[in-house]
Amino acid sequence: MSRMDPRIHQFHQPLQAAPQRKKTKTDISFQNVLNEAQTLRISKHAEKRLKQRNIEIDENKWNEISNKMAEAKSKGVTDSLVITNQAAFVVSTKNNTVVTALGREEAASQIFTNINGTIVLED
């Protein structure tokens, strides 16, 4: 009579849910890092362009841009052009960063290269 491999026998035992454990400081720190990684960043270059061009974007619009960047990233977009009523932004969805900013009128006459997606947001 052949003997069953004990690993197979163990596999068929009912699975038990892992016991819940309290969050530790390490878990909380990891969550903070994860949240920060998902936070939209503005490069120094883009920040300079925003100031030079007097482009002001409110927090709600930044949140909308960030959400659309995450959606674009989930679809495989790595570098995108974001167009709003006020401005156009070249963004990296890979590292969640606004790379540069242009006023909407200025952007109308530009050619954008090295992007593989476009996000259009209207008010």
Q: Average pLDDT, stretch 20-46?
A: 67
Give 82's strand partners. Answer: 89, 119
CA atoms within 13 A on the CB side of 71: 10
The predicted-structure confidence for 35-74, as pLDDT tens digits, reads as follows: 555 689 999 999 999 999 999 999 999 999 999 999 999 9
Instruction: Provide the 10 A C-beta neighbour count for residue 5.
Output: 9
Three-class DSSP category at 20: coil
Could you tell me the pTM of the whole model?
A: 0.69
pLDDT at 37: 55
Residue 8: is its pLDDT beyond 50?
no
**Residue 39 contacts by C-beta under 8 Å, 6 or more apart in sequence?**
66, 96
Confidence at 78, pLDDT banded by 50, 70, 90? very high
CA atoms within 13 A on the CB side of 19: 2
